[in-house]
A and B are shown apart, each in its own frame.
Chain A
Amino acid sequence: MSELDLRTAAASAAPVRRARPSVSEIFAMAFVLFLAVATVVPGLLSSIDPNAIAARDAFQGPSPEHWFGTDESGRDVYSRVIAGTSTSLLIGVSATVIGVTLGLILGVIAGFGGRILDFSVNRTIEVLFAFPGLLLALLVIVIAGPGPVTATIAVGLSTAPGYARIIRGQLAGIRSSGYVESARVLGHGPRRILTRHILPNALAPLMVLATLGIGQAVVWASALSYLGLGAQPPSAEWGAMLSAGRTYIGTAWWLTVFPGLMIVLTTIATTILGRSLTRRTAGRR
């Protein structure tokens, strides 16, 4: 649901208010903090070695000892989920950076390059939109072969057209805005208008877009891993863990449920944060 969710979030004029953080915002911030700790110092959250094999302990359900149970080799699922955070987030964040950067380049070319360039970029975006969802990513993988790096690039590429379209629209809106016009009327030059009015006003929403996009990128990247095209087992990446646990779905549900839950919570948290950022930046208008 990438670009449309982002577009409505960017376009909607939220009510002006500076409220205390809501319950959901507190949850989102707490979860992001948890993810940050799991990425930087996973040892703080789990003392068990995520790769320690103990055949005797295989397929144990959740217990005080193994919060999320154990897998087919007796590895502790909770510590694997924690250990997988860095990989999954790294892929998601890098893909978002790639997507936003490409989108920014395309959007700026369209926004400032004159009518012909704007037209061509617009058609390009339209053409790329005809490869819906994962399709563009799959095409990239056919060309470059599977693997975590290709998957990252593939997800980044397939989100780029959505970002490009929003950025182009925002630049167009700012360029024809009353304040840019009144700066022209006063006699300010184009470079000054660009650096003082257009860029600062365009960049703030971009950060919001990126926040909203990270959850999406994590989902897509783990979908590719799940299909065996991204990170491969025994890597503790969430999608790969899910893929590996799929075989035992009838007997050991915890192998799939917990890594999946992390993906879902990550998406929810980034969505909540992105929206509250949208509201807060809109509140400055």
Chain B
Amino acid sequence: MTAPDTLLEVEGLSVSFGDTEVVRNLSFHVSRGECVAIVGESGSGKSVTARSLLGLAGRGSRVTSSTLSVAGRDLTAASERDWRRIRGSQIGLVLQDALVSLDPLRPIGREIGDVLRLHSPLSAENARSRVLELLASVGMPNPERAITQRSGELSGGLRQRALIASAIALDPPLLIADEPTTALDVSIQARILDLLADVKSRGTGILLISHDLAVVSAIADRVLVMKGGRIVESGNTQELLALPREEYTRRLISAVPTDKPRRVPLVPDAMPVPAPTVHSTQDAMAPVVLEARGLTKSFPSPSSPFLAVDDVSFTLRRGETLGLVGESGSGKTTVARLVLALAPADGGAVLLEGGAFSELRERDRRPLRRKVGAIYQDSLSSFDPRADVRRILTDASELAPKADRHSVGELLDAVGLSPAVAKARPLHLSGGQRQRVSIARALAARPDVIVCDEPVSALDVTIQAQVLDLLDRLQAERGLSYLFISHDLGVIRHMSDRVAVMKNGRIVETGDAARVFDHPQHPYTAQLVADAPRLVDAL
């Protein structure tokens, strides 16, 4: 059944560590010039699968398969020596974030040159010119300079290009890319995906591992959905996204917030989000709860002060969500810190319900603080390591007005956690549970506004969907206002009534969410929207 241009042929691949089988009886193939994606959430076994194809499943692993062949070579019984000859020359590997995937102590040129040194008899002179050629071919602006630099000295996008260059140095027929664009800004992600598409068009087969269906839809020809070490569904990308057969695939696709209208639940069959009880979201007459006026903040730096936030103003009305979107370094997190009065602004002010907030003395502001809650990306570090959930929640609810206090049970119920969680320490909870506890903590103080700083960025997509649905429901029930900060355009668009787009410390565009995303006025917004991967493009 092997077609002549089949590069990778896998039959009955199983991987186990001790008694736990993490990959079960996997079969698939990748052909020349084809991109096959394995999609799954954390713990689905997708990364282990990728590594076992290189003989790198790790210490203590047991890998078995009835067929495992790369470019016609049988590898079912390959020795370590055989593997070493295959790695780099027949299969290239690209990992997430080259900052840690390229040796931070060695120049890029050496790292790429290693592949040539190990597999080809090129002289040092020729190897060098080949490395320069490679760097140019992956779009490195100044190859001569880049070969002397180390991964830490390059920007995220450029070092990812260097990593790809090292993987394709010998033009291996198969390239395995394990989350190659995770943690990159959307514009850089789009360029890296273009580069991978380019590699594919030259006839290389690509096995793409990703948690992100939208990214996968941009480049993959076929998709394998993995869960619990098995392939639950596979097929042509368009067909699979349009007509998923399996329940799990449907949940996965439904959880992608991109292009899901506001207040439509991301979890299928979930209770519909109730209509807002307090105010209509589009109600321009709703009172303004929070206002930022001309916020400015700079940080000292060796050369000149670095302006992180530059004249940022916005208003937030009751029951409304303002999305603040921008790439890394755009200053959105600094805005959050200024709004929470965690850092003093150099200029401008934050007003709460029309009164002073950021300009008050800390002592006078403290009684008001409970009205502005916060949810963080890394919720674990926001919990005292010595406290259990009960203490975390009672500590916070003491700040609410006496007549208006929630019990721990009520809080846990409101965020959909069982009462048993009260006795647990956050360390022993899952990421989604932790984020629910942190929402419960914010609710406990009876806030009017919650600042959500990348609240779902560290979560798997189905968990992310549950948390976003929860936030939506709580907003409708309680008339909360959210300042929602994210780098993810899909999440922002789904969650926001209005958005503000930040770049280099300034808000470049602001307005109604649908208007900004469908008819962007500022070229930067237009570029962001164009670069963001979307499922619908594939449909």
A residues contacting B by CB (< 8 A) are: 16, 177-179, 181-189, 196-197, 200-201, 284-285
Q: List 23 A-B contacts (CB under 8 A).
A: A16-B427, A177-B381, A178-B378, A178-B381, A178-B382, A178-B383, A179-B383, A179-B384, A179-B385, A182-B374, A182-B382, A182-B441, A184-B369, A185-B372, A186-B370, A187-B366, A187-B367, A187-B399, A188-B395, A189-B366, A196-B384, A284-B425, A285-B427
Docked Cα-Cα span, A192 to B136, in Å, equals: 58
* Inter-chain contacts of A179 with B (CB < 8 A): 381-385
Return A135 CB to nearest CB of chain B, in Å.
Answer: 35
Return B314 CB to nearest CB of chain A, in Å.
Answer: 20
Interface mask (B361-404 → A, CB under 8 Å = 1, otherwise 0): 00000111110111010100111111000000001100100000
B residues contacting A by CB (< 8 A) are: 340, 342, 366-370, 372-374, 376, 378, 381-386, 395-396, 399, 425, 427, 441, 445
Q: Nearest residue in A to B425 (C-beta to C-beta)?
A: A284
Docked Cα-Cα span, A284 to B441, in Å, equals: 21
Contact B373 A185 (CB under 8 A): yes
* Inter-chain contacts of B368 with A (CB < 8 A): 187
Contact B384 A197 (CB under 8 A): yes
Contact A186 B399 (CB under 8 A): yes
Contact A185 B340 (CB under 8 A): yes
Q: Pick from B340, B342, B384, B395 the residue with the most CB of A within 10 Å.
A: B384
Docked Cα-Cα span, A184 to B384, in Å, equals: 13
Docked Cα-Cα span, A262 to B395, in Å, equals: 49
Return B255 CB to nearest CB of chain A, in Å.
Answer: 27
Contact A186 B369 (CB under 8 A): yes
Q: Nearest residue in A to B381 (C-beta to C-beta)?
A: A178
Contact A178 B366 (CB under 8 A): no
Docked Cα-Cα span, A183 to B340, in Å, equals: 12
Docked Cα-Cα span, A158 to B378, in Å, equals: 40
Q: Nearest residue in A to B398 (C-beta to C-beta)?
A: A188
Q: Nearest residue in B to A201 (C-beta to C-beta)?
A: B386
Return A283 CB to nearest CB of chain B, in Å.
Answer: 9
* Inter-chain contacts of B427 with A (CB < 8 A): 16, 284-285
Contact A181 B370 (CB under 8 A): no
Docked Cα-Cα span, A178 to B385, in Å, equals: 11
Q: Nearest residue in A to B367 (C-beta to C-beta)?
A: A187
Q: Pick from A16, A188, A201, A284 the residue with the most CB of B within 10 Å.
A: A188
Contact A284 B366 (CB under 8 A): no
Seed contacts A179-B384, A184-B342, A284-B385; 6 additional CB < 8 Å A-B pairs: A177-B381, A178-B382, A181-B342, A182-B441, A185-B342, A187-B368
Tell whether A181 pairs with B382 under 8 Å between CB atoms, given A187-B369, A189-B366, A285-B427.
yes
* Inter-chain contacts of A184 with B (CB < 8 A): 342, 369
Q: Pick from A179, A188, A196 the residue with the most CB of B within 10 Å.
A: A179
Which 6 A-B residue pairs are closest in the complex by CB-CB distance? A187-B369, A178-B381, A285-B385, A178-B382, A182-B382, A179-B384
Contact A185 B374 (CB under 8 A): yes
* Inter-chain contacts of A186 with B (CB < 8 A): 369-370, 373, 395-396, 399, 441, 445
Docked Cα-Cα span, A269 to B416, in Å, equals: 48
Q: Nearest residue in B to A204 (C-beta to C-beta)?
A: B386
Tell whether A284 pairs with B386 under 8 Å between CB atoms, given A179-B381, A185-B372, A188-B399.
yes
Q: Nearest residue in A to B396 (C-beta to C-beta)?
A: A186
Contact B445 A187 (CB under 8 A): yes
Docked Cα-Cα span, A181 to B378, in Å, equals: 13
Return A265 CB to nearest CB of chain B, in Å.
Answer: 33
Return A194 CB to nearest CB of chain B, in Å.
Answer: 13
* Inter-chain contacts of B342 with A (CB < 8 A): 181, 184-185
Docked Cα-Cα span, A160 to B378, in Å, equals: 35
Docked Cα-Cα span, A196 to B398, in Å, equals: 14
* Inter-chain contacts of B382 with A (CB < 8 A): 178-179, 181-182
* Inter-chain contacts of A197 with B (CB < 8 A): 384
Docked Cα-Cα span, A153 to B395, in Å, equals: 43
Docked Cα-Cα span, A106 to B465, in Å, equals: 49
Return A254 CB to nearest CB of chain B, in Å.
Answer: 46
Return B37 CB to nearest CB of chain A, in Å.
Answer: 33
Docked Cα-Cα span, A99 to B385, in Å, equals: 27
Q: Nearest residue in B to A16 (C-beta to C-beta)?
A: B427
Return B471 CB to nearest CB of chain A, in Å.
Answer: 18
Return B344 CB to nearest CB of chain A, in Å.
Answer: 13
Return A253 CB to nearest CB of chain B, in Å.
Answer: 45
Q: Nearest residue in A to B366 (C-beta to C-beta)?
A: A187
* Inter-chain contacts of A177 with B (CB < 8 A): 381
Docked Cα-Cα span, A185 to B367, in Å, equals: 11
Return B390 CB to nearest CB of chain A, in Å.
Answer: 14
* Inter-chain contacts of A185 with B (CB < 8 A): 340, 342, 369, 372-374
* Inter-chain contacts of B366 with A (CB < 8 A): 187, 189
Q: Nearest residue in A to B363 (C-beta to C-beta)?
A: A189
Contact B385 A201 (CB under 8 A): yes
* Inter-chain contacts of B367 with A (CB < 8 A): 187
Docked Cα-Cα span, A200 to B386, in Å, equals: 8
Q: Nearest residue in A to B369 (C-beta to C-beta)?
A: A187
Docked Cα-Cα span, A179 to B381, in Å, equals: 6
Docked Cα-Cα span, A184 to B370, in Å, equals: 10
Return A204 CB to nearest CB of chain B, in Å.
Answer: 8
Return B436 CB to nearest CB of chain A, in Å.
Answer: 15
* Inter-chain contacts of A200 with B (CB < 8 A): 386
Docked Cα-Cα span, A50 to B400, in Å, equals: 68
Docked Cα-Cα span, A188 to B340, in Å, equals: 14
Docked Cα-Cα span, A274 to B425, in Å, equals: 24
Docked Cα-Cα span, A118 to B445, in Å, equals: 35
Docked Cα-Cα span, A201 to B387, in Å, equals: 10
Return A251 CB to nearest CB of chain B, in Å.
Answer: 52
* Inter-chain contacts of B372 with A (CB < 8 A): 185
Docked Cα-Cα span, A201 to B385, in Å, equals: 8
Contact A201 B384 (CB under 8 A): yes
Return B529 CB to nearest CB of chain A, in Å.
Answer: 33
* Inter-chain contacts of A187 with B (CB < 8 A): 366-370, 399, 445
Return A200 CB to nearest CB of chain B, in Å.
Answer: 6
Docked Cα-Cα span, A184 to B342, in Å, equals: 8
Return A134 CB to nearest CB of chain B, in Å.
Answer: 36
* Inter-chain contacts of B340 with A (CB < 8 A): 185
Docked Cα-Cα span, A189 to B362, in Å, equals: 9
Docked Cα-Cα span, A129 to B24, in Å, equals: 58
Docked Cα-Cα span, A284 to B425, in Å, equals: 8
Return A199 CB to nearest CB of chain B, in Å.
Answer: 11
Q: Pick from A177, A181, A182 the residue with the most CB of B within 10 Å.
A: A182
Docked Cα-Cα span, A151 to B445, in Å, equals: 55
* Inter-chain contacts of A196 with B (CB < 8 A): 384, 395
* Inter-chain contacts of B383 with A (CB < 8 A): 178-179, 182
Q: Nearest residue in A to B445 (C-beta to C-beta)?
A: A186
Return B270 CB to nearest CB of chain A, in Å.
Answer: 29
User: B376's contact among A182, A183, A201, A284, by CB below 8 Å, is which?
Assistant: A182
* Inter-chain contacts of A178 with B (CB < 8 A): 376, 378, 381-383
Q: Nearest residue in A to B386 (C-beta to C-beta)?
A: A200
Docked Cα-Cα span, A143 to B200, in Å, equals: 78
Q: Pick from A184, A186, A189, A196 the residue with the most CB of B within 10 Å.
A: A186
* Inter-chain contacts of B384 with A (CB < 8 A): 179, 183, 196-197, 201
Docked Cα-Cα span, A200 to B395, in Å, equals: 16
Docked Cα-Cα span, A177 to B161, in Å, equals: 35
* Inter-chain contacts of B386 with A (CB < 8 A): 200-201, 284
